[in-house]
Structure 1
Amino acid sequence: MGEIINLNHARKARDKAAAKDAASVNRVAHGRTKTERKAAESEKARAARLLDQARREDRDD
């Protein structure tokens, strides 16, 4: 026979691991300084401007 496990302990360990993963994702997303957020935002806007400037427009003649 296999090893006997307590399902409550297994469930709690699984939930704890999931919470730990979610916390690490939140630390990355929300753990930046104001300067870093502004720099990333301005870089994103700059990339969007460059993409719009390189866009070709079709003529409907």
Structure 2
Amino acid sequence: MGDVVNLRRARKLKGRDDSAKTAAANRLAFGRTKAEVRLTQAERELERKRIDAHRLQPDKREEPRDD
């Protein structure tokens, strides 16, 4: 004969395993600290400013001309 399985306990164990998998996926996707997020934003802003500084003509959207 097979082992007796408590269905309530098995259901709860499966739910915990599913929650753990979801939590692990969320940690990979969203698990950055505020400092890391700010650092990334600052690096992107610095790179954008560097690129804009090397433009030959200013962007028309930024400077309205009065002709």
Whether TM exceeds 0.5 here: the answer is yes
Larger-gyration structure (1/2): 2
The count of corresponding residues between Structure 1 and Structure 2 is: 38
Q: Which structure has greater helix proportion?
A: 1
Structure 1: gaps of 5 or more residues: 43-61
TM-score (norm 1): 0.55
C-alpha root-mean-square deviation of aligned residues, in Å?
A: 1.5
1:30 alignment counterpart: 30
What is the alpha-carbon distance in structure 1 between the residues aligned to residue 10 and residue 25 of structure 2? 23
Displaced runs of 4 or more, over 4 A: none
Structure 2: gaps of 5 or more residues: 45-67
2:20 alignment counterpart: 20
Q: CA deviation at 1:14?
A: 0.3
Percent of counterpart pairs with the same letter? 34
TM-score (norm 2): 0.51
2:4 alignment counterpart: 4
